Amino acid sequence: MARPDLNLLFTLDVLLAEGSVARAARRLQLSPSAMSRALARLREETGDPLLVRAGRGLVPSPRALELRERVSQLVHEAQAVLRPADTLDLARLERTFTLRTREGFVENFGARLLARVGEDAPGVRLRFVSKLDKDNTPLRDGSVDLETGVVGTATAPEVRTRPLFRDRWVGVVRPDHPLSEGDITPARYAAARHICVSRQGNGTGPVDDALLPLGLTREIATTVGSFSQALALTRDCDLVATVPERHTGDLCAGLHCFALPLSMPPITVSLLWHPRLDGDPAHRWLRGCVLDVCAEEFQDLPTPDASGVI
């Protein structure tokens, strides 16, 4: 079955509204002969004369009268679909957004983000869920609106990303730990007992990769699945946790942090979303809120010197 020419709907809408081939032609900027041909096609498609000669003018057929409101509504809806979205009214917006983040994001940025969102759009609610893996399926299926994380090979190729901030790894110990005083050398750092953070439980990480060229290895006393677990252990054990500085800032309150004596590249934490939401005005506004809140305290990280010390 051949597809109908949907452009004829727009022509029919104007013809039925004007009740005149000449006026419809002027409105659509067509010649009278082109409009007559269009009317002939419409008659053929619908199997109805649509406009019937009555004296010197045309009158609609019963079928045309039946179609007039339906066609007008269809054309209106089609035009609405193809128009840019209406201006967003934040004061009246009511919507719940789901954000998927790792531990530390809510603790460090959640309060400021809620305040910013509440100021602009009091009817908007934010729902934070834990990010337990790098699978982007929740973005694809729409169960998550936004997510934060480090973009890598596991990131789905269609996912949109924007950098939020740069971070660096730091060592964290309790205040009376030996590493809370004196110079921290690579050998002294490696000789301490460490907590490895690994969601997969691998037992190694980027710190071990950085120690390897120096001929050093660290003793991993335990492996945990999150930064918050690692920091909780450092409060009561003589263990070293290595965590992202900004992402876990508030979680480190009361602990001693020190720059690593290793050459490790900074971490770029990004905002991720599915491309189908690119044009959603409310989603675009929320992305801007997250970017602004994370940029409030943005500072470029120090550059390692020749020895690799930050």
Q: What is the pLDDT of residues 86-107, one digit of tens each?
A: 678 999 999 999 999 988 889 8
Look at residues 300, 296, 272 and name the one whose alpha carbon lies nearest to residue 111. Answer: 296
> What is the 8-class DSSP label of residue 215?
T
- Residue range 7-82, CATH number: 1.10.10.10
* pLDDT for the residue 199: 75
The tally of CA atoms less than 13 A away on the side-chain side of residue 189 is 22
| Cβ atoms < 10 Å from Cβ of 251 | 19
| Cβ atoms < 10 Å from Cβ of 37 | 12
> Tens of pLDDT along 5-55?
788 888 998 888 888 899 989 988 899 899 899 999 999 988 999 999 888
Which residue ranges make up each domain of the chain? 7-82, 90-167+267-295, 169-259
| CATH 3.40.605.10 at 169-259, yes or no | no
Classified as helix, coil or strand, 166 is strand
Ramachandran quadrant class, 75 (left: phi over 0; alpha: psi -120 to 50; beta: rest): alpha
Contact 199, 223 (CB under 8 A): no
CATH architecture assignment, domain 90-167+267-295: 3-Layer(aba) Sandwich (3.40)
* pLDDT for the residue 223: 92
For residue 243, what are its two tokens?
């965590």
Q: Which parts of the chain sit beneath pLDDT 50?
A: 298-310
Q: Is the dihedral of CA 32, 36, 37, 41 positive or negative?
A: positive
* pLDDT for the residue 86: 61
* pLDDT for the residue 160: 92
The tally of CA atoms less than 13 A away on the side-chain side of residue 69 is 3
Per CATH, 90-167+267-295 and 169-259 having the same topology is answered yes
* pLDDT for the residue 305: 34
Q: Is the dihedral of CA 154, 167, 301, 232 positive or negative?
A: negative
* pLDDT for the residue 175: 95
